[in-house]
Amino acid sequence: AKEGGFHAMALTVDFTWYGNRERDIRNDFSIPPKYSLNQIIEAIRKPAWTYDFLSHEPYTYACINTDVPADSLAAFVNSQLCPEFDWRDAEWLLGEWNMPSAVKGVCRPDDAIKAVETGFTTMWVSNHGARQLETSPATIDVLPSIREAVGPDVEIILDGGVQRGTDICKALALGADAVGVGKPYLYGLAAGGTEGVIKAYDILKTELDRAMGLLGTGTVDELKKRGPGLIKKRNGSVRDYPDRYAYERGYGGGII
């Protein structure tokens, strides 16, 4: 990565085990793909998509040898998961990197403090879109406790359900410095390629500007300063708190 000119690294720690992909099971998804009767019927119903799919080169991963067959690719991805990876491994990795680094997957204040002490410069508050552990706490709920734990000077990125400009506004108000988006970018890419991605980001920016204007905050700094007083929380419920000590660890208290 250094030789390739990269200047920052993100270590993903919220994907150490395969999650349960119920939709993939329901759709009989497999690698390599096998075409069921239902998939064939759906392909016939969408002739434009099917023609586009069949008339172009197959999709591949840009950073992996294109000659690798799909089943070997799945094995390769699976081999990259290492549940044994611990803080000592992270410390070694940072010693080899010696540049800005983020740890992606922080959901607890104590882990955030440990990450800062280990040498990470950015906390990436994420639960992998809740696709790994479905009932994990929402990142927007734990964000304030992470900010309180690491103080005002540590950079925080938040992802998970950010699909509108108002979502970005809430994240900034509750302590984030930036957000990560997934679906809006992919929707734009699928619909219009590069121009579609630019359009998606333009929509998010317009919505953020509008939300900030309606809140009476002229700058991001002002939004972050006044943010906690602008957010209304609903009352907690049993669903919000995994156990009796969850609130003390920063969990729970969903956002309206």
Which residues 6+ apart lie within 8 Å of 232 measured at CB?
256
Which residues 6+ apart lie within 8 Å of 224 measured at CB?
172, 173, 175
Contacts of range 240-245, beta carbons closer than 8 Å, 24 or more positions apart: 240/137, 240/141, 242/135, 242/137
Contact 154, 123 (CB under 8 A): yes
Crossing angle of helices 220-230/183-215, nearest 10°?
A: 80
**Residue 128 designated active-site:** yes
* Host H or E run for residue 156: strand 155-158
- Token pair, residue 100, equals 């800005």
From 90, 105, 107, 128, the catalytic residue:
128
Which residues on adjacent β-strands are paired with residue 9?
Answer: 101
Which amino acid is residue 238, in one-letter code?
A: V
In a 3-state reduction of DSSP, which class is residue 123? Answer: strand
Contact 183, 203 (CB under 8 A): no
Phi and psi of 77, rounded to 5°?
Answer: -60, -45
Query: Which residues are identified as catalytic?
Result: 128
